[in-house]
Amino acid sequence: MPLTQSREIAAASRLEHVRYAIRDLACVADEVAKQGHKILPLNIGDPLTFDFQTPAHMIEAVHKAMREGKNGYAPSSGVKGALNAIRGEAARKGITTVQDVFITSGVSETVDICLAALLNPGDNLLTPCPDYPLYSAVLAKLGVSLNAYYLNEEDGWQPDLDDLKKKITPRTRGIVLINPNNPTGSVCTKKMLAQIAELARQHNLVIFADEIYDKLIIDDDPHVAIAAIAPDVPVITFGGLSKNYLAPGWRIGWGIASGEASVIKPYLEGINKLLRARLCANHPEQYAIRPALEGPQDHLPEVKRKLRSRRDLTMKWCAETPRVSCVAPRGAFYAYPSIDIPEGDDVFVAELICQKHVMVVHGSGFGQRPGTQHFRIVFLPDEKTLTSAYTAIGDLLRERYR
Ligand SMILES: Cc1ncc(COP(=O)(O)O)c(C=O)c1O
């Protein structure tokens, strides 16, 4: 008789801390979809699910690269033309002390590599709360503790500087700053950036500046890169094609390392070791980077026009709906309303999927101050779809919490 293995294969215990609420909710939605209901997805930040298209000249550039045989492995840091284009982008962002540039499979991989190259067991990293869950997932994988600092809802979701200062320990190695922010849509003030940079100087920290939404500032205020105002501080600025250039499925991201050369050198050697170990990022898609960054930017005004209209509609609904209040998002495509309900926001969100077939993400999936409840809306869908989703959410709030 053939031998069959009967003992369970256990997953690594460090994965107990890996949560990715945005996709984890999919299990509830799958059940509802199996019953024949169509789900309104206000949960995933993928513009291509809605009325946004990748610019045609970028698609043509990738197609051409494939036809011309750029289908083998690429250099580990990325192809030369694309790296030069990213250096040009760094200069446009005002970053003057660039020490290295590298291309990865999405910002997700930039984060993975940059954190793995820095952190030892026992170290900690300051991450925003609420945060984009990728950071806590990568830290859990590395067995490194999360050291969350609050964003201040009363201050338009700016980082809570006092909390940040309080949380720095001798083993703190860096600060993650998501600007524009996911999930709140806030944009950091220049004064706040300068204060955070000063903390990094005092405590010898690396700043991870996740600026993946830097061209999606809804009201056309300028975006200030923290690396531009702190040229001496070690900063890795993250960017990519997923959001600004509407190509999330291509998995193209990058890191721009800046600061004093002698200070950042050993860390950059560590990053490059890991870049070599995973061979390279997707090759043909890298040929879209130069056309994206240096070619026509015509899609941006249209994208921002849609985002402005959909953000305004969202804010109007929040203002008119009992139990809901919201700080107006200024960048990206997320709103993070607070809800005044007598039960957990996770329960509310699960009910919303089951009863009204609308999917948002609960605040507890991003982390939040104790005693507060929120949910995150992705306001990418068109006005008609958003209006039906908001009507359904309002109905559930009324029916459930009279
Ligand atoms: C703040 C933030 N950083 C990084 C990512 C991941 O981006 P990528 O598609 O480049 O991996 C996302 C995706 O939603 C994000 O919101």
Average pLDDT value for the chain: 94
- For ligand 1, what atom is nearest to the CA of residue 241? 10
- What residue ranges of the chain have pLDDT lower than 50? none
Q: If you measure from the C-alpha of residue 338 to the centroid of ligand 1, how many angstroms do you get, rounded to a whole number?
A: 23
- For ligand 1, what atom is nearest to the CA of residue 252? 10
Instruction: Classify domain 56-294 at the CATH topology level.
Output: Aspartate Aminotransferase; domain 2 (3.40.640)
Q: If you measure from the C-alpha of residue 107 to the centroid of ligand 1, how many angstroms do you get, rounded to a whole number?
A: 6
pLDDT reported for residue 31: 82
- 68-87 residue pLDDT tens: 999 999 999 999 999 999 99
pTM: 0.95
* Token reading at 251: 């998995």
Can 13-52+298-400 and 56-294 be said to share one CATH topology? no
pLDDT reported for residue 146: 86
User: How crowded is residue 81: how many other Cβ atoms within 10 Å of its Cβ?
Assistant: 14
Contact (CB, 8 A) for 359 and 10: no
Q: How far apart are CA 44 and CA 334, in angstroms?
A: 10
Q: How far apart are CA 28 and CA 354, in angstroms?
A: 8
In testing the pocket of ligand 1, which one of 107, 131, 135 has its CB within 8 Å of the most ligand atoms?
A: 107
| Beta-sheet pairing, 124-129 with 172-178 | parallel
Contact (CB, 8 A) for 372 and 153: yes
Residues in contact with ligand 1 (CB, 6 Å cut-off) = 45, 106-108, 132, 134, 178, 182, 210, 212, 240, 242, 248, 253
In testing the pocket of ligand 1, which one of 102, 105, 108, 138 has its CB within 8 Å of the most ligand atoms?
A: 108
Q: How far apart are CA 34 and CA 50, in angstroms?
A: 22
pLDDT reported for residue 15: 80
- 47-65 residue pLDDT tens: 999 999 999 999 999 999 9
* 13-52+298-400 CATH: 3.90.1150.10
DSSP secondary structure, 189-254, as one string: -HHHHHHHHHHHHHHT-EEEEE-TTTT-BTT-PPP--HHHH-TTS-EEEEEESSSTTS-GGG--EE
What is the residue extent of each domain of the chain?
Answer: 13-52+298-400, 56-294
- For ligand 1, what atom is nearest to the CA of residue 213? 1
User: How crowded is residue 167: how many other Cβ atoms within 10 Å of its Cβ?
Assistant: 16
* Token reading at 27: 């299990």
